[in-house]
Structure 1
């Protein structure tokens, strides 16, 4: 397309498809740091102001050493006094070894001796993962997108047993998805979605339980099959339905033919039944047409007086 001034044409770009990696990268998981940072700044300001004010009250003037001492004490206070948000568990190490877990709320550490190793978010986490161009057991490449719901139940294990528990869970889920797809055919993947969800949950749970992480659920979002294969599968499904319809029709025809054979035997053994059937068919024809019906000679014989008398005698004889 060309703009109004006749300048260089502007090419329209197609929208980029949704990407699991983009979703995971743009997810903001740093919201829990705003509160602790504001609290640390507040502690620093309060301690610094208190020490400077105390030095001024003692010496009667602002001294450089008082400012330096205030800055040092404020830094020590920031390294000592901390807060953890309601959804956080903090892992504290002493001399590099695990000492305790704290939080939520206010907690204290010894400067230079104890360190905060990890702040584990114990809310339900949502991780998107997928498998692109993954071959099924019948060698069909498909794309599958899924969502994993999980949470950290043991902050100590999440800190000590794995380097980065969030990325580890994502990679473990992706690997489990690829393995599950490779063991199933394309039709099984498309039809057995609920079974695939349950299988993935059990496999990921087995791998992440040692990291202090529990898997709540796994949900398959989308399964993309190549367009050529979709047409073939649609034709196969239509052929299968047509086959079933023909089999049902054949069964019905078989039952009808068997009933007609039985009726023929009855009519062969009883002329009265045959004539009554003839009269019934003629009555249905007249009733359906609502007018005059031309009766062939073979049918009219059933309405003659001789035929009626013969029919009466036959009924009396059988009675």
Structure 2
């Protein structure tokens, strides 16, 4: 249910004012006539009602719109304020705190004719109680309907992929549209947040396959780029080895050593294998390789 403020203090204050005024009038009649009759009770009741209707309390977050003979007079509150009985009326108490309104659009067609169910939350507040009271009948309901209409229009102008992926852009667009619409009513839009977008099950499967295909495409492109880089490197290495036979033979020897180290096996080569390294190995190494 959430936390809600209590108006018990305001009701208690009004009751106390009524009792004080009633007792004061009864006391005055008793002092003046030494008796209390039906006329005095009726008079005390009328006076108490008039006094109670002229003294009011508005909560810290409330603004009270006061009309005099049906015309706007002022906005009172918060705190204690007075009105003239019968002449002035407290038309509306406006809550100035931030409000959260949930709204949605069901089976709304996108630009590519795909039905979507979208749920969103609107955060807003009233900054001008006079405009909210005099410019629109039920501003709470009107804001909700305006948000729902703006959401349907925004969905209808975009494709399903754009709606599903670009939520932040949709939030900003809705906020801009609603701000322009509700500003004359004394209402400001703080933010619009799309909570959930429900796609048809068949479309979810199609979009999943599309996403998988897109990922495979990216993986193949990355692999081809890697192969291209390797090819360029091998081309440079080939040019280097073509100019230096000793480097090529050392490279072959290094590859042989790596294969033996990784597999843990033994490679038997003829003693004449060392003759190919006569120009790059010292005499001591030649003897060792010759013995092996």
TM-score in terms of structure 1 length: 0.80
Unpaired segments ≥5 residues, structure 2: 282-292
Among candidates 162, 166, 190, match of residue 188 of structure 1: 162
By how many angstroms is 1:155 displaced?
A: 0.8
Alignment of 1:45-124 (within 5 A): 45-124=19-98
Do structure 1's residue 235 and structure 2's residue 215 form an aligned pair?
A: no
Q: Distance in 2 between matches of 1:115 and 1:271?
A: 106
What's the RMSD between the two structures over aligned residues?
Answer: 2.4
Q: 1:303 pairs with 271, 274, 292, which one?
A: 274
Structure 1 residue 103: deviation in Å? Answer: 0.8
Match of 1:175 in 2: 149
Residues 246, 277 of structure 2: 8 Å contact kept: no
Deviates more, 1:263-272 or 1:47-56: 263-272
Matched, 1:291 2:265: yes
- TM-score, reference length from structure 2: 0.87
1:61 Cα deviation after fit: 2.1
Distance (whole Å) between structure 2 residues aligned to residue 27 and residue 165 of structure 1: 23
Match of 1:198 among 172, 175, 196: 172
| Alpha-carbon distance, 1:290 to partner | 3.2
The runs of 5 or more residues in structure 1 that have no matched partner are: 1-25, 313-319
Aligned with 2:140 (options 166, 188, 194)? 166
Shift of 1:134: 1.4
Q: 2:18–2:49: 8 Å Cα contact kept in structure 1?
A: yes
Aligned length: 281
The answer to whether structure 1 residue 274 and structure 2 residue 245 are counterparts is no
CA distance in 2, matches of 1:150, 1:48: 43
**Which range moved further: 109-118 or 282-291?**
282-291
Shift in CA distance, 97/303, structure 1 to aligned 2, threshold 3 Å: same
